[in-house]
Structure 1
Amino acid sequence: MTPTIQTIQEKKLIGKHIIMSLVNNKTFELWKNFMPVRSQVKDTIGSDLYSMQVYDDNYFENFNPAAEFKKWAALEVIAFDTVPDGMETYILPGGKYAVFHYIGNPENGAEVFGYIFKEWLPSSGYELDNRPHFELLGSKYKNGDPKSEEEIWIPIK
């Protein structure tokens, strides 16, 4: 998997988040709560879903699978004029990202992210930047399908 390097501008997101860890994975619960109410988010930019992780500053320095982080399910919006009840806003900072096009089942996530962080990143000439990581789930994303496609966005500098 060879990424493309892309620079994005700041983005406005509306969605829901949950605090979890890799050991105590609550991703299913988050999306189960978000999907039935996502149509309440108005003034969206496109229909892509953001599955975003916001980590503490030293999360990757002393990696611990039990360390907690914020996991978001969100949509990009033009403005924060109308925020549905039970949802929150988040400003995703702009910056440079390594973007990996992934085809396959989410069950292979550990292998994919292992490659990104243990093989690609150390030999890339880039460093991990302290900004949110996210997966962009577009029209070709099919949860649980081995032909599902998504983009994995890793912040770099």
Structure 2
Amino acid sequence: MKEILVILLISFVMVTLMAQEPVEKPVPKMDSKAEMKMVGIQLLNSMDSDEMSDLWRNFATVVDNIPHRVKGPHYGISFFTKDYNPQTDEGYGYMAAVEVSEIKDIPHGCVSRIIPASDYAVFSYEGNVEHLGDMYAFIYGEWMRSGEVIPKMQESFEEYDINFNPEAETNIIRIWVPVNN
């Protein structure tokens, strides 16, 4: 009797596993961008999600006052300063920004940054922002270790379309990772 129960249990587990759809790994699209001039506000030396949420809330209060804006998405830019230390958050920066046609008349509290022209691996994420970290874990874990491409040590960025809503169940966010192609 025990053998029959074990066989039934194993059969049930096998059928359940076979019925699950395989998880597809994200495949980046290769693209390039010309130099971009950005203006926004930044956070230095912290990867704390609450502080980043506060940064975006503060950005929402100044974005309409940024002159020379190029119509289009908002950007979350990750960068390293010359003091970057991989064992700590020291030297890591994050900037909520928009692209501008010229860096001029920057509002008080805002900063500018020029992102150099580059080739990129572009990952499209569709889902709730709560799970965006899973995409980053894949990109900077398994995908980087695969050796498909060689990443550049320069700004990477998230591209949020104008319909982005952090409370929505589904958003589309494109993550641009600079690479040597």
TM-score interval w.r.t. the shorter chain?
A: 0.7 to 0.9
Moved more, 135-144 or 87-96: 135-144
Kindly state the Cα deviation for residue 57 of structure 1 after the two structures are TM-superposed. 6.6
1:27-38 maps to which residues of 2 (within 5 A)?
27-38=52-63
- Stretches (4+) displaced over 6 A: none
- State the distance in 2 between where 1:24 and 1:50 align: 16
- State the distance in 2 between where 1:24 and 1:103 align: 19
- State the distance in 1 between where 2:105 and 2:50 align: 30
Bigger-Rg structure (1/2): 2
Secondary structure at the counterpart of residue 131 of structure 1: coil
For residue 5 of structure 1, the aligned residue among 26, 30, 48 is 30
Which structure 2 residue ranges, 5 or more long, are not aligned? 1-25
CA contact (8 A) 1:20 1:26 kept: no
CA contact (8 A) 2:74 2:162 kept: no
Secondary structure at the counterpart of residue 143 of structure 1: coil
The alpha-carbon distance between structure 1 residues 83 and 22, as it changes in their structure 2 partners (threshold 3 A), is closer
CA contact (8 A) 1:57 1:130 kept: no
- State the distance in 1 between where 2:35 and 2:102 align: 12
Question: TM-score with structure 2 length normalisation?
Answer: 0.77
CA contact (8 A) 2:65 2:107 kept: yes
Residue 154 of structure 2 corresponds to residue 131 of structure 1: yes
CA contact (8 A) 1:140 1:149 kept: no
Amino acid at match of 2:69: T
For residue 119 of structure 1, the aligned residue among 103, 122, 142 is 142
Residue 40 of structure 2 corresponds to residue 18 of structure 1: no
Structure number having the greater helix percentage: 2
- State the distance in 1 between where 2:151 and 2:82 align: 11
Which structure 1 residue ranges, 5 or more long, are not aligned? none
Task: Name the counterpart of 1:44.
Answer: 69
- State the distance in 2 between where 1:141 and 1:150 align: 8
Secondary structure at the counterpart of residue 26 of structure 1: helix
CA RMSD of aligned residues (A): 2.0
1:76-91 maps to which residues of 2 (within 5 A)?
76-91=99-114
Amino acid at match of 2:125: Y
For residue 108 of structure 1, the aligned residue among 131, 139, 145 is 131
Task: Name the counterpart of 2:78.
Answer: 53
Task: Give the structure, 1 or 2, with the largest relative contact order (CA under 8 Å, sep 6 or more).
Answer: 1
What are the Cα deviations for residues 100-144 of structure 1, in whole angstroms up to 9, with x where unaligned?
111111211321111112222222521121111110111342213
